[in-house]
Structure 1
Amino acid sequence: MVSIIVPIYNWEKYIKECVNSLVNQTYKDIEILLVNDGSTDNTATILDKITDEDNRIRVIHKENGGVSSARNLGIEVAGGKYIMFCDCDNIVEIDWCEQLCKSIQLYAGSLPICWVKTKKVKDMYIW
Structure 2
Amino acid sequence: MDYSPLISVIIPTYNAERFIIETLTSVINQSYTHWECIIIDDGSTDSTKEIIDEYCKADNRIKYYYQKNSGPSVARNVGVKIALGEYIQFLDSDDVLLPERFEILL
Length-normalised TM-score, structure 2: 0.92
Match of 1:118 in 2: none
1:94 corresponds to: 99
Task: Look up the equivalent residue of 2:79 and give its one-letter code.
Answer: G
1:51 to 49, 56, 69: 56
Partner of 2:3: none
Kindly provide the amino acid, as one letter, of the partner of residue 47 in structure 1. I
**Structure 2: runs of 5 or more not aligned:** 1-5
Structure 2 matches for 1:53-72, cutoff 5 A?
Answer: 53-72=58-77
The superposition leaves residues 59-115 of structure 1 with CA deviations (integer Å, 9 ceiling, x where unpaired) of: 1111110000000000000000111101111111001111111xxxxxxxxxxxxxx
- Whole-angstrom CA distance in 1 between matches of 2:11 and 2:104: 19
Distance 1:32 1:70 in 2: 13
Aligned partners of 2:55, 2:43: CA distance in 1, in Å? 17
> Root-mean-square deviation (CA), in Å?
0.7
Please tell me whether residue 16 in structure 1 is matched to residue 21 in structure 2: yes
Alpha-carbon distance in structure 2 between the residues aligned to 1:87 and 1:64: 16
Equivalent residues, number:
101
**For 2:65, what is the secondary structure of its paired residue?**
strand
CA distance in 2, matches of 1:60, 1:40: 14
* 2:30 is the counterpart of 1:25: yes
Counterparts of 1:83 and 1:92 in 2: how far apart (Å)? 14
Q: Which has the higher contact order (CA 8 A, sep 6+)?
A: 2
Q: TM-score, normalised by structure 1?
A: 0.77
Matched with 1:73 is 78
**Higher gyration radius (CA):** 1
Tell me, in whole angstroms, the C-alpha distance in 2 between the residues paired with 1:83 and 1:70: 14
Deviations 1:38-77 (A, max 9, x none): 1011111111121011111001111110000000000000
